[in-house]
Amino acid sequence: MDGLNLAGIIHHTAAWLQGTGPDAEIVVSSRVRLARNIRGYAFSHALTPEEAAGLVEATRNAVQKLPSMKKNTFLDLAELQDIDRQILAERHLVSLEHAQEGENKAVVISRDEAVSIMINEEDHLRLQVLLSGFQLEQAWQKANQVDEEIEGVLDYAFSPRFGYMTACPTNVGTGMRASVMIHLPALVMSRQLDQVLQAVNKLGLAVRGWSGEGTKASGNLFQISNQQTLGKTEQDILKNIITIVRQIIQHERTARRGLLKRDVSLLKDRIGRAFGIMKYAHIISSAETMNLISNLRIGIELGILKSIDIRLINELFLLSQPAHIQKIERKELTPMERDIKRAEIIRKMLKSEKLQVELN
């Protein structure tokens, strides 16, 4: 897949952006990631280029033939242009680190973008399943299935005492990181968020911005994940996250009902302004887009914005990112040019839909 072929992917709605699945009005997506290493190779950071090339070749052949990975796409990251690697990162198919320039890095992506397997990232394999809505258990089932298929053809580095061996000790054990991307505008607006997040931290979960580790929250989106990988089974870890996320969902629902009761004009104002700006503005930064989309999302969920499909919002979310915009334009753009193009894309997408905004 060269630069041109990848252009097709940007008009394709990834599985995790379907806007379907349980509690999809609050949980945008659920993700399970497994870190695996192959016996007989040093960890990735210690491989010589030749060994790394061998690792990529060996795992590529194994992964591409898995029953779960029919019609997959294999991408050698060194063969991609910068912009295409960025697109993969913006679509959450590879990590930001994996998208950096470098040899002997690859990714295998399933047709619906639900499964991606990074080769030679921090670990030899990073298997990810990303689904729409609150489907952590289903994501785990799928990841486990692919993992078992791989285990049938490759020899994992595994210690009976510690579990799966990983490059970074924080991943040893299950090698699993489970996370949800959760949209909490009402908790933010009613100033209850800090309290909720503190409780989440105390229960052993980590809270991050929407682009993962080290990124700030924007657009009222938060990524909640387990911190512990050792000394617990996958089922225990999942059960813990699911229980806590259910409680956060309850808090957010209560906060939304409270806002609807007390501050309905304020809500309608925020949602209406966001909609009006997206329909008519000519310069929009990506940070502003995140916030505008957050307001649209809650507007749809509360029935204040009618006839908008949540998928349109998710598409906006994806297409308004820098690399996607430049891919659409087929050229490099300055930040200002991107902001102008972003506004144009948003206007066009909102124009094509017959939208009703409830006024009273």
Residues that bind its own copies (CB under 8 A): 265-266, 268-269, 272-273, 275-283, 340, 343-344, 347, 357, 359
Based on CB atoms, which residue is closest to its own copies, 65 or 273? Answer: 273
* In the complex, least distance from residue 282 CB atom to its own copies, rounded to whole angstroms: 4
Based on CB atoms, which residue is closest to its own copies, 107 or 304? Answer: 304
* In the complex, least distance from residue 275 CB atom to its own copies, rounded to whole angstroms: 5
Q: Where are the alpha helices (DSSP H) in 13-157?
A: 49-64, 82-90, 136-153
Degrees, nearest 5: CA angle 250-252-258: 105
Based on CB atoms, which residue is closest to its own copies, 162 or 280? Answer: 280
How many other C-beta atoms can be found within 10 angstroms of the C-beta atom of residue 51? 16
* In the complex, least distance from residue 290 CB atom to its own copies, rounded to whole angstroms: 17
Write the Ramachandran bin of 54: left for phi over 0, alpha for psi from -120 to 50, otherwise beta.
Answer: alpha
* In the complex, least distance from residue 359 CB atom to its own copies, rounded to whole angstroms: 6
Whether the CB-CB separation of 26 and 252 falls below 8 Å is answered with yes
* In the complex, least distance from residue 358 CB atom to its own copies, rounded to whole angstroms: 11
The Cα 206–Cα 226 span in angstroms is: 6
Report the length, in residues, of the chain: 360
Degrees, nearest 5: CA angle 28-30-36: 150
Based on CB atoms, which residue is closest to its own copies, 301 or 337? Answer: 337
* In the complex, least distance from residue 177 CB atom to its own copies, rounded to whole angstroms: 40
The Cα 303–Cα 148 span in angstroms is: 43
Q: 74 pairs with which residues across the strands?
A: 108
Based on CB atoms, which residue is closest to its own copies, 183 or 268? Answer: 268
Based on CB atoms, which residue is closest to its own copies, 176 or 312? Answer: 312
